[in-house]
Amino acid sequence: MLKKFSKALHSSLSWSNNIALIMVTTFILTKDMKYCLLASSVL
C-alpha cells in the first residue's frame, strides 16, 4: 500500500512537495512531534 501510495505521489508532486510528504510520513511513522520538528529544522 505504501509503495503504491508513494509511487503515485512521486509522479504527481514536485520535488519540494515530496520533501513535505517525507516529513509528514516520518511524523506519522514515528508519532514523535519533536523528531518531525527536528527534521524540518534540518531541511
**pLDDT digits 0-9 by tens, 1-43:** 678 877 766 666 677 777 888 888 887 877 776 776 777 777 6
- Rounded-to-5 percentages of helix, strand, coil across the chain: 85, 0, 15
Predicted pLDDT of residue 25:
83
Q: Which pTM value belongs to this model?
A: 0.37
Predicted pLDDT of residue 28:
80
Tell me which amino acid residue 22 is: I
Residues 6+ apart with CB under 8 A from 33: 27
Helix runs in the chain, H state only: 2-12, 15-30, 33-42
